[in-house]
Chain A
Amino acid sequence: MVNQANLLEILSQIPDPEIPVINIVELGIVREAKMVSDNEVEIVITPTYSACPAMFNIEEDIVKLFKEKGIQAKVTTKISPIWTTDWITDEAREKLRVYGITPPEKGNHEDHLNVPKKCPRCGSTNTKQISRFGSTLCKASYQCNDCLEPFDYFKCH
C-alpha cells in the first residue's frame, strides 16, 4: 500500500546509478513527494550536476518503481533551490566512506582547497590529489601516502 507516509521510504529503494550504496533520498535529490490521488504521485527531483547522466536513469527508475505498484508517477525536475552536497545525510556520508569514497566537506569547494582529504581506508590525512577531476562529475582522484591506496573524493558542490 502506497500512502503519503511511506512515499520517501519507497523512494529510498532507488540507488544512485553511479554510487549504488546510497539512495536518491539520502543524496538529497528528492525534494518533494506527494500523493495526488490514490493511484497518482508527484515527485520533484533536483539535478546534482547540470550534466549528470544519472538524472535520466533516476527519473526512469522512479516511474518504473511506482508503475510496478500500479501507480502513475509524475516526475518534475526543479533546479532551484540548487542541489548541494550539504544535503547528503550523515548516514549516507558514512556509507560513502565505507564504500571507499571520501565524503564531501560542507560548504564551498574554495574554502577547502588546501585542506588534506582523509583516506577512507586508513584514515590518514597524509594524502595527495592526483587529479581534480575523476571518473564522474562528482568525484576527484586522490592517493594516500601512508597506505598507498588511490581513492575517490566526493567533491563538495
Chain B
Amino acid sequence: MNPLFNYTLKLADDTLIFGQRLGELCGQGPYLEEDIALTNIALDYLGQSNNFYKYAAQIQDLGKSEDDLAFLRLEKEYLNCQLSELPNGDYANTLLKVYFFSVYQKILYTELMKSSDEQLSAIAEKSLKEVKYHYTHTSTWIKMFAGGTEESKTRLKNAVENLWEYTGGMFAETPGEEDLAKLEIVPNGKQIEELWKKTVAEDFQNFGIEIPESKFMQKGSRTGYHTEYFGFILCELQYMQRTYPNCAW
C-alpha cells in the first residue's frame, strides 16, 4: 500500500476515534462549561479527521469518499493509536489523555508544516491553531489538579499510572513511514517522540507530578491491533452507515 496513504490514514484515524470518544461526553460532562469544552475539542478532532480522510481518499484514488474511509472499514484496518480509543474514565483521566495527545499533536503539526507535501502541510498548519488552544486548556487543568486537593491529586496520579503505558503508541510508525521521513515528506517519528518526552517532562516538573518509573509500553498501536474497547466504539461509530447503507445528512 502507498506509504503516504498509510500515514495520512493514521492521522485521520487518530482524530476520528479520539473525537468519537470525547463526543460520548456530550451532555455528560462534569459541568456545563466543561461539557461544552470537551465537545468543542471533539468537534475540532472530527474536522481535522475529515480533512485527512479527504486527502487520503484522493491519494488512494479508488473513487472512495472520506465517509467510506471513516465508516466502512474493518477493525484491523484502523491505524489509530490505542491511547485515542481508551475509555474516558473520570475527569482527570479524560483531561490527561487530551493533554498527552495535545502535546503530541502540537509537536507533530509544527513539524508537519515543513512537509514538502503541500496538502499535509496546509492541514497541519490549520489544525495547529486548534491544537494549541486544546493544549492551553488541558495543561491549565492538569496544573490545577496537581495543585488541588488530596482527591484531585490522587485521581491525577491514578490517571498518569493508567495512561502512561499507552503514550508510546502515538509514535509507532506505519509501513513506509521511515522512507517518507527520509524524503522530508513527513517528520521523523523518533524526533517527535524525543520532543514529546522533553515537553511532558518539563510540564510535569512545573505541575509537580512525577513521571512513572516503569518503562513498559503497550505495543500494537498503528498495526491494526486494538484494545478490547475498540470494537465497541467502532460499532457505535459505524452503526448508521451499516444500518442505512449510503445514508447521507
Contacts and interface: CB of A to CB of B under 8 A. Distances in A.
A80 interface: yes
Interface stretch (A28-36, A61-69, A133-141): A133-141
Size category of the B interface is: 20 to 34
A134 B36 contact: yes
A109 B136 contact: yes
B36 A51 contact: no
Contacts, number: 67
B197 interface: no
The main secondary structure of chain B at its interface with chain A is helix
A52 B43 CA distance: 8
B46 to A, nearest CB: 5
Give the dominant DSSP class at A's interface.
loop
A131 B137 CA distance: 10
Interface string B17-48: 00000000000000001101100110111111
A136 B127 CA distance: 17
Contacts of A141: 33
Interface stretch (B1-9, B117-125, B238-246): B117-125
Given A80-B118, A133-B33, A109 B46 contact: no
Nearest to B54: A77
Contact of A50 (B37, B44, B133): B44
Which residue of A50, A51, A130, A135 has the most chain B CB atoms within 10 A of its CB atom? A50
B28 to A, nearest CB: 16
Interface string A118-157: 0000000000001111110100010000000000000101
Given A113-B136, A132-B137, A79 B122 contact: yes
Interface of B: 33-34, 36-37, 40-41, 43-48, 50-51, 118-119, 121-123, 125-127, 129-130, 132-133, 136-137
